[in-house]
Amino acid sequence: MSEPTGVDGVSPDATRADESAVAEHSLSRRGFVRMLGWGGAGATVALGGRAAVDAIAEQSAPSPEELARAAAFAFETATIESGHQPGIATPQQAHASFIAFDLDASLTASRIKALLQILTDDSARLMTGTAPIADQEPEMAGDPAGLTVTMGYGPGLVDRVNPAAKPSWLKPLPGYKIDKLEDRWSGGDFLLQICADDPITLAHARRVLLKDARAFTTVRWVQDGFLGARGARVTGTTMRNLFGQLDGTVNPRTSEDLGQVVWIGSDSGESAWLHGGSSLVIRRISMDLERWDEVDRPGREASIGRRLDSGAPLTGTNEHDAPDFEARTPQGFHVIGPAAHIRRARGDGAERILRRPYNYDTALSGAAGSGAQVNDSGLIFAAYQANPEKQFAPMQARLAEADLLNTWTTPIGSAVFAIPGLGELGEIPGKALFE
Amino acid sequence: MSEPTGVDGVSPDATRADESAVAEHSLSRRGFVRMLGWGGAGATVALGGRAAVDAIAEQSAPSPEELARAAAFAFETATIESGHQPGIATPQQAHASFIAFDLDASLTASRIKALLQILTDDSARLMTGTAPIADQEPEMAGDPAGLTVTMGYGPGLVDRVNPAAKPSWLKPLPGYKIDKLEDRWSGGDFLLQICADDPITLAHARRVLLKDARAFTTVRWVQDGFLGARGARVTGTTMRNLFGQLDGTVNPRTSEDLGQVVWIGSDSGESAWLHGGSSLVIRRISMDLERWDEVDRPGREASIGRRLDSGAPLTGTNEHDAPDFEARTPQGFHVIGPAAHIRRARGDGAERILRRPYNYDTALSGAAGSGAQVNDSGLIFAAYQANPEKQFAPMQARLAEADLLNTWTTPIGSAVFAIPGLGELGEIPGKALFE
């Protein structure tokens, strides 16, 4: 039986973020044929470009229902790119849970390794749509829905396992004057970033992994976040955050960019366990929607330096137009002001990061009165970069110094994790750390 | 310019629950043309059944990307069926927020009406993808994503507005011995049920409506829930709850069923404001996943009376096979035991309800140790029926009396609301209550 070719041409990823060079969810060919149910023996189902249309017309009766079935994404598995953990270059899934653990004081290096091996095994199974051995609801594992599990090692873990191999940047960020950090959202010895396009898949995977870890750890914090639903919007739509801003316009996109910005290279001078890895900074940023409501549109647009409707820089017309930081008004003022967020974030352009943030939003019970705060809302700001001291910290320092958005945003949590490289699926990330 | 015909044939609803007679999301034709971007002047875009395929082949170059764009559902609006509020017969959206309010003590009937008019106006706009007048983030209103806002009136509201028109069943359910009800999940004068297929849409709509209400009310409780993501699974897939059970196999499906089970008829003897309406019982049911884990598969299947994999009754082979409650084992025991959930829920079949439940799941920080509870999980059990005393209560009494599932489930919240009928979109639901 011939396998279908060119399946990528109708990948449901056509409706994902426009990070073209970033690894795409792969539509399993076997799964595709299974779900589609019409590429029978001998048939070649060519589904790319014009060929797709012809093939559809030539096939016997694929109904709209069959096409819809083919687009169901619960059975999709994320692409695992050799050398790197998934969940970093992977296009952002709609739902995420970030969980930080403290390791039990008694845990030796060898038992930490055993814990990581269990989590690795179960994660590999879950990501490939296979039930872990001890899974009590194996039917729920059959819908990976693009699931990725990404592991981060905090300072406490590396100190216990192999302190000599600890990168110099693996420590809390310096304090910034804008910070109002709370312990309950900060730090941690170990991190799981679990992402999927389906909230039921995410709930199941999270439970399996939490049960694996509970004999060895205490859950330090949990942060759950969301983006727009998978498939809701067209290709290339940048998501809006809860301020209504398009969020994520500037991100490294090409493989070359990712190599420069995100991945720790073998020539980096870092220990071998980090090669192919990265670092993850997670900042919980509370957004004061009540006071943001008091700001008019010109004020909002000036604070970010972009238009609210299109996301275009104030000096441009389209979202991806390069901002003109030199442009001035007839009165001689900068069009993109000195404290506009995009100017402060960019600096001289030397520091870049991969933003992979999620929104959080909780309606508050007990709220009463016309001035009451009705939501606890904000951004789980997750940033990947090869070196947080050289890339994230200078940018954050500039923003802390002056950024109009600081008026309505407050960092209330902060954590830094090393993201080890990955040999192959099923190996402990950063295996060399344990050797 | 011709409008496209037969758009329903490729409605993204082909991937929704199989409630065929239940109102479907309508794919706005104007929106469809706008998003598709290829049914230009004079073109007839016929997209139903075989015609769809032919039309695709005849059109000039609709690429797979264009087809994917056409399937984006953010711009879809829910069908508003005359006489009934949306969000009841509407196929369940992926995300829901249930919010109960207490009305300020000083609020007169006329001010309650004013509050409801504001909420009605803004809901109507949001459901049709239009920004409310005072919406500070109007761009976020442009993606209704199947949004529905359903209003429920609690005993407190009706008592204050028109006590003579209060139905006899509008009061708390009788207590059941299984209940461990908490005030923080129970009661309320007024309810908003907000549902959408996109969590950003939901967050925005919720904020707009909470701001409308806050000058007049106190938020009593908020319950957020989820199902599987829109489009993740194929048509007719019943969702799994967090016990891994297929949940919702038995539900009224036809218009006739809905008329018998859900809608309050004009010949019901109820007040006019309820005609076309219903009642909503919301029970927050905590599910003890830790103790459920201790039960083997035969035990789990016996407790529900269905197989875990297919959802088929223990006497059948397919999910929708009718259970044979008379069937016995060779030893003479009932195959579906006397305390199996489906037997107890069904009784003699006289009482039926429309289940519209959502899962809730929170990973718990602070969890440590091998026996620790790692999730706070359960079901927001939402049931619509014409008369809760005659339909829901006897069923609940039977289940409270004996249901193996009670071993692992505990009702911790309970509320009953009258769901008024709706004249037309933009009118206050149950307008006659105020006359």
pLDDT digits (tens, 9 = 90+) for A90-134: 999 999 999 999 999 999 999 999 999 999 999 999 999 999 998
**Mean pLDDT value of segment B116-127:** 97
- Compute the distance between CA of residue A283 and CA of residue A295 in angstroms, rounded to an integer: 24
Would you call B361 exposed, middle or buried from its count of C-beta atoms within 10 A (0-12, 13-18, 19+)?
Answer: buried
**Can you give the pLDDT at residue A68?**
64
Closest in A49, A65, A104 to B235, CB measured: A65
- Token pair 């269990």 is at which residue? A118
* Range name among B57-61, B103-107, B237-241, B302-306 with the lowest pLDDT average: B57-61
Taking 90 as the threshold, does the pLDDT of residue B271 lie above it?
yes
**Can you give the pLDDT at residue B8?**
30
Token pair in block for residue B56: 């695709």
**Closest chain A residue to B73 measured between Cα atoms?**
A232
Token pair in block for residue A242: 């809860």
* Range name among A165-169, A284-288, A367-371, B29-33 with the lowest pLDDT average: B29-33
- Name the catalytic one among B135, B212, B247, B403: B247
- A159-196: pLDDT as tens digits: 999 999 999 999 999 999 999 999 999 999 999 999 99
A223, A302, A307 from A298: Cα distances, Å: 33, 6, 9
**Pairwise CB contact (< 8 Å): A61 & B48:** no
Nearest one of B319, B353, B148 to B239, comparing CA atoms: B319
Taking 90 as the threshold, does the pLDDT of residue B56 lie above it?
no
Tell me which of B217 and A21 has the higher pLDDT: B217
**Pairwise CB contact (< 8 Å): A243 & B206:** no
- B357-391: pLDDT as tens digits: 999 999 999 988 888 899 999 999 999 999 999 99
Q: Which of B47, B147, B365 to mutate to test the interface with A (most CBs of A within 10 A)?
A: B365
Known active-site residue B197:
no
**Mean pLDDT value of segment B307-333:** 95
**Can you give the pLDDT at residue A247?**
83
**Can you give the pLDDT at residue A238?**
85
Predicted TM-score (pTM) of the model is: 0.87
Taking 70 as the threshold, does the pLDDT of residue B27 lie above it?
no
Cβ neighbors of A173 (< 8 A, separation 6 or more) are: A281, A388, A392, A393, A396, A414, A416
The answer to whether the beta carbons of residues A233 and A186 sit under 8 Å apart is: no
| Crossing angle between the packed helical segments B49-58 and A49-58, to the nearest 10 degrees | 140
β partners of residue A361: A377
pLDDT range class, residue A15, cuts 50, 70, 90: very low
The answer to whether the beta carbons of residues A73 and A231 sit under 8 Å apart is: yes
Residue type (1 letter), A48? G
**Pairwise CB contact (< 8 Å): A366 & B203:** no
- Vertex A297, ends A294 and A303: CA angle to 5°? 85
**Closest chain A residue to B74 measured between Cα atoms?**
A232
Taking 80 as the threshold, does the pLDDT of residue A331 lie above it?
yes
- Chain A residues in contact with B365 by the CB 8 A cut-off are 184, 219-222
Q: Which of the residue ranges B49-53, B105-109, B403-407 has the most confident prediction, judged by mean pLDDT?
A: B105-109
**Pairwise CB contact (< 8 Å): A207 & B10:** no
Taking 70 as the threshold, does the pLDDT of residue A17 lie above it?
no
Q: How many CB atoms lie within 10 A of CB A105?
A: 6
Residue B158: enclosing H or E segment and its boundaries? helix B155-161
- B71-97: pLDDT as tens digits: 789 999 999 888 999 999 999 999 999
Cβ neighbors of B125 (< 8 A, separation 6 or more) are: B131, B132, B133, B141
Using a pLDDT cut of 90, give the percent of chain B over it: 73
**Pairwise CB contact (< 8 Å): A49 & B64:** yes
* Range name among A282-291, A353-362, B13-22 with the lowest pLDDT average: B13-22
Q: What is the ipTM of this complex?
A: 0.86
Positive/negative CA dihedral, B403, B409, B413, B416: negative
- Compute the distance between CA of residue A186 and CA of residue A321 in angstroms, rounded to an integer: 36
- The whole-chain average pLDDT of chain B stands at 85
- A383-431: pLDDT as tens digits: 999 999 999 999 999 999 888 999 999 999 999 999 999 999 999 999 9
Q: How many CB atoms lie within 10 A of CB B256?
A: 10
- Compute the distance between CA of residue A417 and CA of residue A427 in angstroms, rounded to an integer: 19
